[in-house]
Amino acid sequence: MWVALLEVEALLYEKLEKEVVKCNVCPRRCYVKPGTLGFCRVRQNKSGRLYTVSYGKLTASNVDPIEKKPLYHFWPGTVSYSISSFGCSLVCPWCQNWSISQAGPSDSGYGEVSPEQVVKAAKRYGCKTISYTYNEPLIWLEYVLDTAKLALKKVFSTCS
């Protein structure tokens, strides 16, 4: 049984002096002071350790035709289970998903969903793939990896 993890330690960061950490998950390479969030609003420094505050908190889940993804001839005619969380390392002026990508942990309405539940939902909806989409998937890397590992065991493909 999955229990909501309020704190999941982030991958890809360095501990520096005075409890400052350097996040290496995206090209911004944020220096995050204790008690603050990185630019993406997903990675938080708590006493000199970096945590992801979005793990398992989905802002969107949809069944999309694979052709909606920016892929060419990848499982044509199939559907993909598209999921997203809040925050982003980018601020694209043309972003069609700004309500998701520019949200943060204090915004409400997130459903907590385990990686196992994502894979089961994709299977239930007849999806051949799981897509990490609507924002930059790197910033929720820990959840993407956990979900992708489970999905691959169940003969799904993953894309972002």
Mark out the alpha helices in 8-109 (DSSP H runs): 98-101
pTM of the predicted protein model = 0.90
DSSP 52: E
- Residue 3 in any domain: the answer is no
Give CA–CA dist 2/136, Å, rounded.
25
110 and 43 inside one domain: no
106 and 142 inside one domain: yes
- CATH no. for residue 138? 3.20.20.70
Closest CA to 109 of 85, 138, 144: 85
Give CA–CA dist 24/47, Å, rounded.
18
Give the tens place of pLDDT for each residue, 51-103: 999 999 999 999 999 999 877 788 899 999 999 999 999 999 999 999 888 88
Amino acid identity, residue 70?
A: P
- Residue 140 in any domain: the answer is yes
Provide the residue range defining the domain that includes 14.
8-52
Give the tens place of pLDDT for each residue, 94-125: 999 998 888 888 776 677 899 999 999 999 99
How many domains does the structure of the chain reveal? 2
